[in-house]
Amino acid sequence: MNTAIAQYPMETTVGFFIMDAGSVVGMATLLATVLHWEVPVDLAVAFAISRMLRRIRLPVDVGFAALLARLYPPLTQVNLLRHLVKRYRGAAPPPGEPRSMGRAAMDTFATIVDKYGLALMVSQRMFVGLASVTTIYAALRAGVDVQSYLAGVGVDISNVGKLAGQWAGGAIMAAPFFPVVVLGAGKIGIGLGRLRARLTAARPPPPPPPMA
């Protein structure tokens, strides 16, 4: 995986998004067409709330990522977003120029991504993410009026519909297979990178400039 990221960073990122979206769509299709399971509305709402609260739960994500990094340090050596972080930092404002709140938040996130690498993504996708969805779903099933609490802070979830429920079910079912997504992204990245190299090599050179 690190070889793919080092040699073909953009292609590997594209491969990750292909694998990630494909795993969710595949699981959603499996649930709807093969298992004929209709995702409960409460579960769709819980998933939507969890996504809306990702910034708030970031300290928990980071804490669990730190634990994963201590238990299995190689996770920190795999970083799909490292090249994007480098580009972001390359566009940093000159030293001494005041930073906006948004820029400060992005700088903090870039530092976290750099430090924990894949451990952060595993924490968000496979552990803290699933735990937060499960907790919110249990609260909804227990009769807690979560929607009213969120409306009080300006978060509206009244438009969560059937399509969102199918996506939620697919994302939840796909979460345990996240390591396969990462490995597949590396394979796709290398394949796309080699294809681009072949196409570039086969491209005819530009014609020489006309003689004066």
Rounded Cα–Cα distance for residues 98 and 92 (Å)? 11
Specify the 3-state DSSP secondary structure of 37.
Answer: coil
What is the number of domains present in the chain?
A: 1
* Res 103: pLDDT: 59
Residue 58 lies in a domain: yes
Residue 202 lies in a domain: no
Residue 210 lies in a domain: no
* Res 104: pLDDT: 65
Residue 207 lies in a domain: no
Residue 204 lies in a domain: no
CA distances from 90 to 15, 33, 67, 202 (A): 24, 47, 30, 32
* Res 141: pLDDT: 82
* Res 85: pLDDT: 60
* Res 71: pLDDT: 92
* Res 38: pLDDT: 76
* Res 76: pLDDT: 87
Residue 130 lies in a domain: yes
Full residue range of the structural domain in which residue 31 is found: 2-89+99-197
* Res 63: pLDDT: 92
Residue 38 lies in a domain: yes
Q: What is the pLDDT of residues 64-82, one digit of tens each?
A: 999 999 999 988 888 776 6
Residue 62 lies in a domain: yes
Residue ranges in the chain modelled with pLDDT below 70: 81-106, 145-164, 204-212
- Predicted model pTM: 0.72
Q: What is the DSSP string of 101-155?
A: HHHHHHHHHHHHHHHHTHHHHHIIIIIIHHHHHHHHHHHHHTT--HHHHHHHTT-
